[in-house]
Structure formats: C-alpha cells, structure tokens
Amino acid sequence: MEQLMRDFFLFLSKNKFFTEMAKKYGLRFGASRFVAGEQIEQAVQVIKGLNQKKLAVTVDFLGEFVDNEREANERADNSIQAIKAIGREKLNAQLSVKMTSLGFDISEQVVMNNMRRIMDAAKENNVFVTIDMEDYARCQKTLDIFKQLKSEYDNIGTVIQAYLYRTEKDIEDLNQYSPNLRLVKGAYKESPEVAFPEKKDVDENFKKIIKMHLMNGNYTAIASHDDAIINFTKEFTKANNIPNSQFEFQMLYGIMPERQLQLANEGYTMRVYVPYGTDWYGYFMRRLAERPANVAFVLKGMFKK
C-alpha cells in the first residue's frame, strides 16, 4: 500500500493540469505546512524564526521543468532576489537551485548564463549555493555543470542520491574537487535498471557514501529524516574523530521540527530546507510520496477551522 501511495503522488507531481491549478489557487489544502509562502518576504520571516532557534537554512525558490527562456531568466532573477535578501538581512541561510527552472532543458547557454548570474550575486553576498539533483536522465549533465562552475567559484555544492547505482562512482569521481555535497536517498521515480528498488539497499548505499565522503575529508550534508541514518552518522563521526564542523544534518521545513531542534541543541549544525514560491505543487506531491504520514498531517490541516 505504501508503494502504491508513493507511485500515485509521484504521478500527480508531474501532472501539468494540477500544477496550473495549484498556481492559480495558492497555498491551500495543507501545502503551507511545507512551503514558506509565495514571496521572498514571507520566506525571510520564516528563516528569521528558524535562525532564532539555532537552525540554519537553505532557501529554494520553487520551480522546475521551465521550457522558455523568459521564464528561466525570471526564475534566476528570483534566486538573485533571495540571495540579496539573505545578505541584506544577514540571515544564516544558503540557496538551493534546480537546473530545470533555469533553462537546463532549453540550452546549455541559457542555464549557464543564469547560473553565472546567480553565482556572481552569491559571491558578492557571501552566500553558498547548492545545485539540487533531479531525475536520473539529468544526473550526468547536472554534475558536468557543477564541475564547470566549481572551477570558477568556491561557494558551490551539489547533491548526490543514494538510490542510484552510479552513486559510489560519482563520489569517487567528485573527490578531486573537494566538494561540499548534500547526500540524500532520492525522491524521484526511477527504473530498477538505474536505481535500487528496495529500501534496505538504498539505506546501505546511503551509509556507504556517507562514510566515503566523510573519510575523504570533505564537508558532508546528511539530508534525512531517518533516525537510523542520523544515529549511524553520529556514531561513525565519533568513532572516527570527525569534528562536527565537517558535517551537518538537513531536513525539510515542516517535517519533524522537534527532531530538528533536538539536533541543534545537541551541538550539530541542523539546516532546514525552506522552499517558497507559487510553483509549489510538484515539490508538495513528492513530500507526500516520501512519507505517507504527511498525508494525515495535510488532511488534518485542511479541516482545521
């Protein structure tokens, strides 16, 4: 049943009709639990509140699969606006970006122009930028873009997904760049030809790449709500004398907030992924797919007076 629900919500996440309806009717039906508003001003207030609780943030202007240059440029403008807000308000925050919102599927020139505009603004405002990883079909090209930009900018990282068979090789290949990586399980529906179909195999691969990246001496963000992964990381870093300054935990806004505070109070860097914007539907559906318990939270929120 859980797999059926996951597949159902992943299917809905790519439905263009529902995506447009969501943009039209705004953040209702429970999405505000996971999305910090439609404008950067709303997101700034959320970030300030999280910072006051000793929580770091990475902020993301939502959007993906843009197919025209005008919209891609506008998405880049919104990311630059977020960077400037982080700098102006002196927030403990970074920026996350999706390549498909910046022209990835249009042309290399469009996406690289937009990324360099974003990175120039980030460098000026001392803001770190993470390139989010999307589906498998776009994995290699995303890594190629990261490598190119890493040769030009220091303040950039990317994401590696544990459910892909290729991941261990990618960790080895990227080590020469001393990369700051966010390690995740992966949230897209992929073929068993390219990704582990069983959760237990994904979990084991997740632990393997956490060990690899940490032992390579690179900064590691462990993005997971799984206590088994979190506890594994705690035990491994203590056993190998890896300082807390070399890694952090990351979780999504609206999910397990008490656990986030607990980790921050234990002295770990705890970063919250805070999305905002009108194009929230695909992101929201994937959050429901990842954790069926989220559906109950949403239904409860919908019927609150």
Q: What is the pLDDT of residues 153-166, one digit of tens each?
A: 999 999 999 999 99
Pairing of strands 247-252, 220-223: parallel
DSSP 186: -
How far apart CA 170 and CA 209 sit, in angstroms, is 10
Structure-token match 């299917």, residue found:
11
Query: What CATH number should be reported for the domain holding residue 269?
Result: 3.20.20.220
Return the exposure string of 230-268: e unless at least 16 CB atoms fall within 10 Å of the residue's CB, then b: bebbbebbeeeebeeeebbbbbbbbbeeeebeebbeeeb
* DSSP annotation string for 84-104: HHHHHHT-SEEEEE-GGGTTT
| Mean pLDDT, the chain, whole residue set | 87
| Structural domain count of the chain | 1
Give the pLDDT of the chain (305 residues) as one tens digit per residue: 445 545 544 544 455 554 454 455 545 555 567 888 889 999 999 999 999 999 999 999 987 778 899 999 999 999 999 999 999 999 999 999 999 999 999 999 999 999 999 999 999 999 999 999 999 999 999 999 999 999 999 999 999 999 999 999 999 999 999 999 999 999 787 899 999 999 999 999 999 999 999 999 999 999 999 999 999 999 999 999 999 999 999 999 988 899 999 999 999 999 999 999 877 666 666 666 665 555 454 444 333 43
27 in a structural domain:
no
Q: What is the pLDDT of residues 25-80, one digit of tens each?
A: 545 555 567 888 889 999 999 999 999 999 999 999 987 778 899 999 999 999 99
Domain of 45 in residue numbering reads as 36-279
143 in a structural domain:
yes
Dihedral through CA 44, CA 48, CA 49, CA 51, nearest 10?
130
- Burial (CB < 10 A; 0-12, 13-18, 19+), residue 75, is buried
The set of catalytic residues is 132, 182
How far apart CA 213 and CA 221 sit, in angstroms, is 10
289 in a structural domain:
no
